[in-house]
Amino acid sequence: MSFASEALIAAAEARGHHGPAEMARQLEVPYLNVYRWVTGRNTPNAVGLAAIERTYGLTSDALIPEQAAA
């Protein structure tokens, strides 16, 4: 499964949220989760994807392209 971390980073920066620490505060999730997402080590779970959609307006289809094709 491939996660489009660059889309998350771009959406965060567009709102003035630079770096994983600021993104974690805005998403209300642990810093380590966000750090792992933006470095490509992990993919967000359902709770993380919901927080990303709520905060940045990115859907799971935009973040996990293969999921839309399946």
Distance of CA 13 to the CA centre of its chain: 12
Q: Considering the chain, what percentage of its residues have pLDDT values greater than 70?
A: 93
Q: What is the pTM of this model?
A: 0.87
State how far the Cα of 69 lies from the Cα of 51, in Å rounded to an integer: 23
User: Is pLDDT at 18 greater than 80 in this prediction?
Assistant: yes
CB 56 within 8 A of CB 41: no
Mean pLDDT for the chain?
Answer: 91
Greater pLDDT, 25 or 67: 25
Beta strands in the chain (DSSP E): none
Q: How many CB atoms lie within 10 A of CB 50?
A: 13
Mean pLDDT for 56-70 is 79
